[in-house]
Amino acid sequence: MNLTGTQESLAEGKLLAGKVAAITGATSGSGLAIAKAFVRQGASVVLLARGEERLAALCETLGSAATGIATDVGDPAGVREAFARIGERFGKLDILINNAGVQRPCSFEALADQEVAIQVNTNLLGPIYTCREAIPLLRAAGGGDIVNTSSEVTIDVFPFQAIYAVTKSGLEALGEALNREYEKEEIRTTTLIQGVALGEGTGSTGWDHNPEYSGVMWPRLQAEGTVQRVMGKHGGQSVESVAEVHLFIVTRPRGQKLDVVRARSY
């Protein structure tokens, strides 16, 4: 008997066979690692990111299991269109990974309007928009998982990260609110408090965006021990290990919910 697609995945015992997952910030860093891990486990993966060329190249690498939709998560109309396309193609969504994030370290009084806007739009408004559009599709699947990527900056607040900390704290509040509102519909929201993750495509985290960083920020963060606390003795966790955490979260049996998970280097 010839088995193809979902049937073949089920026969091979893949953990996400038949599942549809949407991942924001999917072309680099943790998002890229999550996309690869989910495809390996049999999921159909929708990659949401702004770079059309990178999306096309990644879809070619991942094969027919991957669909790329160029999306700015901070644009509500664009998010609405992207999830409409997901609904048209798959009729449901099982997993939403809100991984996209931007940080622009800067002394608070020197923050430019655009630096405030890009962090708020990407880190907080983006997940609000994606969750809002995903919930009907998660409901159509009979329930599913939302994983929102927060940061340990909400626990250990660093200097020069005021707006980033505010947006991630708001994201954590969003996760708690969604859990309360939708748990009876089997829609689970997990906040992943993620530490530094290193690997393919991580590139700049925004620390070198402002020239003030090298002369003022970095020396202070080193002197106060912030860098050592964040990196840990192992020098950061890998994006592949972060992807494994995501896989663990979304494969929990029904009846179990992980409200908050912290994954960090030590």
Specify the pairing of strand 95-98 against strand 260-263: unpaired
Report the amino acid identity of residue 149. Answer: T
Are 163 and 119 in contact, with CB atoms under 8 Å apart? yes
Q: What is the DSSP letter of 205?
A: -
Rounded Cα gap, residues 46 and 23, in angstroms: 6
**Residue linked to tokens 């997901």:** 86
For 157, the 3-state DSSP assignment is coil
Are 105 and 206 in contact, with CB atoms under 8 Å apart? yes
Rounded Cα gap, residues 148 and 187, in angstroms: 13
Rounded Cα gap, residues 213 and 170, in angstroms: 25
Q: What is the DSSP letter of 112?
A: -
**Catalytic residue (one of 129, 164, 182, 213):** 164
Report the amino acid identity of residue 105. Answer: P
Active site residue 129: no
Query: What φ, ψ does residue 225 adopt, rounded to 5°?
Result: 85, 5
Report the amino acid identity of residue 3. Answer: L
**Residue linked to tokens 């939709």:** 69
Positions marked catalytic: 164
